[in-house]
Amino acid sequence: MKPVAPGAWLGLLGGGQLGRMFAMAAQSMGYRVIVVDPGEHSPAGSVADHHVRSDYFDTSALDQLAHRCAAVTTEFENVPAEALRRLASHCVVSPSADSVGVAQDRAREKRFLAGIGLDTAPFAVIASETDLERVEPSLFPGILKRARFGYDGKGQARVATVAEAKVALRAMDGALCVLERHLQLELELSVVVARGFDGEVRTYPVAENRHVDGVLDVSVVPARIPPPLAQAARDATVRVAEALDYRGVLCVEYFVVGGKLLANEIAPRPHNSGHYSIDACFTSQFEQQVRVMCGLPLGETALHCPAVMVNLLGDLWSGGEPAWRHVLAHPRAKLHLYGKSEARPGRKMGHYTLLDAEVAGALQAAAQIRSALEENARLSAPAALAAAATR
């Protein structure tokens, strides 16, 4: 692949916060970015050099990308595969439609992971209520997940019996689902990997993650796990990238159960748990995404120092704009806001990262900042409600 030099146009399908951080990384390297997204005030569209306000099936918008851009990428896995294939006939597309297609469907994804020799949670593919009646009883209690279009805990239901699973399946309009056995997790881990068009591979340090209500809450890097387990996670992630013939940045999430590593999900894009790399690594996952799609050598992925990343959800805005002084007063805290115009409970509005010589110090400072922000929201909420009532 001939390298794409700075000054060229790069295309992006999707206007969310991942796209925003990609666009900012690309622009800092001298590239110009076109974003295709239907939102009027999307996080990525607001910083892009050009925003095409259109959906991902609009052939005129796709043709504009194809003829103007040297390379195109996506910020989310549910972009239509047809759009990626159409673009690939005119310019570099990273990742490919075939690679993304595996991660778009949980059933296909689970079979793929098992097929390349990785352990997963016990599961069954569910296409009908009849399938539920035939599953192994050991899969209960379990979690019923939509095969497509589920994220951040959405499109999932915990079920203890076949009867509960049938009710949940009906609530999902009979969509193809995967039933997974509910496991007692010791840890949740993730690894971001980049693979170039020349086959060069770089893995990032293993992140230790905590989720709340299906949404990532905190990532700790490096994960506090034995070195052999960390190496196993990195090796497994490389196996996924190579088996997919993947060209780009992806993340694989893992469960640790009984000391054993279980592959859970593939995200064919930069990942929330990799945001620490912006401040803590030599090369962020977003710069790496630019490097891959432009055919450049991959950057170093090592840590400068340990880091703790904390997601900022819309709940903190219940009393108005959060008191950012609690973050900005800390000399090793890095604040990142996503430019979203409306805060809603559970919506990702930003994150902050704490850097320290030791994980323990970063965790302590991150927790103190979180407590101060939550306390400010709690105290400010009544006043905000009272003010709204008088309008």
Give how far Cα 358 sits from Cα of 228, 296, 310, 362, 375, Å. 20, 33, 16, 7, 26
**8 Å CB contact between 182 and 158:** yes
Q: Are strands 9-13 and 32-36 parallel, antiparallel or unpaired?
A: parallel
**Distance between CA atoms of residues 144 and 155, nearest Å:** 8
**Distance between CA atoms of residues 115 and 169, nearest Å:** 26
Give, as one character, the DSSP assignment of residue 314. Answer: G
Per-residue pLDDT at 77 exceeds 90: no
The mean pLDDT value for 301-321 works out to 96
* Residue 348: inside a domain: yes
Q: What is the pTM of this model?
A: 0.94
Q: Which domain holds residue 127?
A: 122-181
What SS3 class is residue 55?
coil
**8 Å CB contact between 106 and 178:** yes
Q: By CB neighbour count within 10 A (0-12 exposed, 13-18 middle, 19+ buried), where does 137 fall?
A: exposed
pLDDT confidence of residue 82: 86
pLDDT confidence of residue 151: 61
* Residue 349: inside a domain: yes
User: Are 171 and 203 contained in the same domain?
Assistant: no
CATH number at residue 168: 3.30.1490.20
* Residue 57: inside a domain: yes
What's the pLDDT tens digit per position in 152-202? 557 889 999 999 999 999 999 889 999 999 999 999 999 999 999 999 999
User: Are 67 and 172 contained in the same domain?
Assistant: no
Radius of gyration of the chain (CA): 21
* Residue 372: inside a domain: yes
CATH number at residue 56: 3.40.50.20
Q: How far is CA 79 from the centre of its chain?
A: 14
Question: 195 is written with which tokens?
Answer: 């693979």
**Number of structural domains the chain divides into:** 3
* Residue 67: inside a domain: yes
